[in-house]
Amino acid sequence: MSRSDVENKAGVQRGPEPGFKRLKLTLAYCGTPWRGWQSQDGGGGVQDEINAAIRKATRIETRVQGSGRTDAGVHALAQAAHCDVPETVRMSGESWANALNACLPLTIRILSVEDTAPSFHARFDATGKTYRYRIWRPRMLSPFEADRAWHVYGPLDMDALRWCCEKLVGTHNFIRLSANRGDMPETQRRTLPDKTTRTIHRVDLRENGDVLELEFEGDGFLYKMVRLIVGSLLHVARGREPKEWFASLLNDSTGMQSNQTAPACGLYLVCVNYHS
């Protein structure tokens, strides 16, 4: 088990080993060809590709730690990560980005690299995240949007959609709008509201030409939470459930979980927030 894995398991923060310094990376990726952010047996995770690029560019063995996981097919406009490298490697942030991008597939780009505090942790120091979900509305799906947006054609009740979006803002137990990663029985997860309670600071609903966008800013997001929120919102907007059903998903933690999961292709991690 790597040191980063131990940190994750214990929930503690540790600085670099003596002789090492910590770098903060900001990166973007198209999630279509990848099996999500996290390293996978046999490769295929974005994390695997960045580790390999660092090894190829510098011959340094390190493990990049991200701010959190994104699922297979989910995109990122500005994922955050950190890694530790020897202090003897004296490269500017621009040189790091250029070297890594030269070794990475074109669907993964390093936007910036900077020296950061030894105590900085991309996951544990994050104070919030912003996600955007894109929905393609015309009858014909553009071939250039096939893996970039969810194709939803037909009438939508925009007033009901706005009403539900307003209900999301605030602190709620999202047990019914999240999925179980499998690390504990669902019966146990339902007895731990502290683990499933999150605060949504902002929900924006925008109609940009052919695309409907939903943007969520919050202090954190559970496994598949955004996709379940979007799927449930659209379920109401299509007239398949009343808006009160959506409100009950937030207000009554004892009911059944929503099974309305929007596809991964429309979801984008926009940014990760940290205290300045």
Q: Which of 48, 71, 84, 125 is catalytic?
A: 71
Domain that holds residue 108: 3-115
State whether 172 and 226 are in the same domain.
yes
When the pLDDT of each residue in the chain is averaged and rounded to a whole number, the result is 94
- Collapsing DSSP states into helix, strand and coil, what is residue 109? strand
Q: Give domain status of residue 93, yes or no.
A: yes
List pLDDT tens digits, range 170-182. 999 999 999 999 9
| pTM (predicted TM-score) | 0.93
Query: Residue 87, Cβ neighbours under 10 Å: how many?
Result: 11
CATH at 91: 3.30.70.580
- Least confidently predicted of 3-7, 160-164, 261-265, 271-275: 3-7
Q: Give domain status of residue 147, yes or no.
A: yes
State whether 106 and 137 are in the same domain.
no
List pLDDT tens digits, range 172-209. 999 999 999 999 999 999 999 999 999 999 999 999 99
State whether 77 and 165 are in the same domain.
no
pLDDT confidence bin for 13, thresholds 50/70/90: low
State whether 183 and 87 are in the same domain.
no
Is 136:142 a contact under the CB 8 Å cutoff?
A: yes
pLDDT over 50 at 3, yes or no: no
Domain count, the chain: 2
List pLDDT tens digits, range 58-77. 999 999 999 999 999 999 99
Q: What is the pLDDT averaged over residues 254-273?
A: 97
End residue of a domain, out of 92, 115, 138: 115
Q: How far apart are CA 119 and CA 260, in angstroms?
A: 40
Q: Give domain status of residue 182, yes or no.
A: yes
Helices (runs of H) and strands (runs of E) counted in the chain: 8, 10
Backbone angles phi, psi at 97, to 5 degrees: -60, -45
Q: How far apart are CA 264 and CA 275, in angstroms?
A: 29
End residue of a domain, out of 60, 88, 115: 115
CATH at 215: 3.30.70.660
Q: Give domain status of residue 37, yes or no.
A: yes
Q: What is the pLDDT averaged over residues 21-34?
A: 98
Note if 252 is an active site residue.
no
Q: What is the pLDDT averaged over residues 136-152?
A: 97
The alpha-carbon radius of gyration of the chain (Å, integer) is: 20
pLDDT over 90 at 276, yes or no: no
